[in-house]
Amino acid sequence: MQTLCEQLQEAGRLGGSFFFKRGHNTCGNAKVLFATLGYQLALHRHDLRGPISQSVETDPSVVGKSLDVQLRNLILEPCQLTRGMSPSALLIDGLDECDGHNIQREILHLMGSTANKHHLALRILVASRPEPHIWETFKEESLLGVADSTNIEQSFKDVWTYLRDEFSRIHREHLTAMQHIPTPWPAPEILRKLVQNSSGYFVYAATIIKFVDDEYSWPSKQLDIVVQKMIPHDSESPFATLDQLYMEILSRVPARYRPSLCNILCTITHYPEVFSVQDIDVLLGLELGTVKLIIRPLHSVLKIPALSGDLLGVHHASFLDFLKDETRSLGFYIGSAEHKAGVGHSILKVLAYTFDNPWKNLADLGLCWYV
């Protein structure tokens, strides 16, 4: 989506863009969506700058009002005043990462109503994971005639191409480990089985590649682990193959670290990209460096920073969904209110602790405002 934004920007066709990010104070908040898009329209379109500015001057509180009022006052009415304008694109990425299913539906309903009632030179592109409530909303009558849905992620051919090229790269770059492994690697039947198990979704393929491409392991042995653990493709659960892969990756952490691992995953799940590796060491009362030691086998699912002071996150939101669903993650489940309360309790303990240097308490306040 970022590449598309840049291409539209270069072509002079971009009206505005908004990238939702789960758990983020601003980027996860739908209340600023249309205010942000209206502001960007005013920046990108000189013919809309005056009408949008006038709308804000008339009612400065408009940016804090309901979504439908923001949409009407900051986008629809200004666009109606400039009939004959050339088309512009509004891009909304990660709708499924916006806080709350109801507000996700409301955004789609508002855009559907806009397209039905107003013939404006605006093209709206929404990118989202195919969550059931989002699919159901797109099938409603108000959106049927004005929205086209395309599954750009589910493509067996593209997954096959991606896996083939990435395995070729791994074979080439891991020269010492792979010099005695003949090509093509893996064998065509193994590649076909991996593609079939992916169900056409890139997240499965990308996670496999990250797992196999571990600089501290033999790629061929890593791939053997994946193949040996693969379950039949005809499982009733649409997440079965991905879940099996996640379980196998998590099981690479030694059992003696399992309690600490679950506490670490709980912190990452409920506060994604909020704390650094070093922060989590402090929060959980662990010796500095322990978190990085425990999560080292998880580079294929976690964004593990090179520096301990940088933020820790996940590669794909599907891993967070997996951890929050007890029927899928089993012993690694950390989605209950008790789990989240445990993290909050750890943060409060850090605040309450009496350090020899009282300024250390103030420094730790930066960790604790998220509670």
Query: 310-368: per-residue pLDDT in tens?
Result: 888 888 888 888 998 898 899 999 888 888 888 888 877 777 764 445 445 544 545 55
Comparing 247 with 116, which gets the higher pLDDT? 247
pLDDT at 155: 73
pLDDT at 152: 61
What H or E segment, with its residue span, contains residue 19? strand 14-19
Could you tell me which residues come within 8 angstroms of residue 234 by beta carbon, excluding any fewer than 6 positions away? none
Q: What percent of the chain has pLDDT over 70?
A: 89
- pLDDT-derived band at 237 (thresholds 50, 70, 90) equals low
> Could you give the dihedral angle defined by the CA atoms of residues 333, 331, 328 and 211, in that order, rounded to the nearest 10 degrees?
100
245-303 per-position pLDDT tens digit: 899 999 999 999 999 999 999 998 888 778 889 989 988 889 999 999 999 999 999 98
pLDDT at 332: 93
Q: Which position has the token pair 């955004």? A: 107
Summary mean pLDDT of the chain: 85
Short-list 236, 226, 355, 268, CA closest to 23: 268
pLDDT at 238: 59
pLDDT at 306: 82
The DSSP code for 297 is G
pLDDT at 323: 92
Angle ∠(20,22,24) on CA atoms, nearest 5: 85
Alpha carbon separation from 13 to 9, 209, 281 (Å, rounded):
6, 36, 47
Rounded CA separation 115/119 (Å): 7
Q: What percent of the chain has pLDDT over 90?
A: 40
Query: Is 294 in contact with 264 (CB distance < 8 Å)?
Result: yes
The DSSP code for 306 is S
* 221: pLDDT strictly greater than 90: yes
What H or E segment, with its residue span, contains residue 18? strand 14-19
pLDDT at 84: 67
| Arithmetic mean of pLDDT, 223-246 | 76
11-61 per-position pLDDT tens digit: 989 999 999 987 777 888 899 999 999 999 999 988 899 999 999 999 999
Comparing 153 with 59, which gets the higher pLDDT? 59
186-204 per-position pLDDT tens digit: 999 999 999 988 877 788 8
pLDDT at 120: 76
Question: Which of helix, strand or coil describes residue 251?
Answer: coil
- pLDDT-derived band at 371 (thresholds 50, 70, 90) equals very low
61-105 per-position pLDDT tens digit: 998 999 999 999 999 999 888 766 778 899 999 898 888 889 999
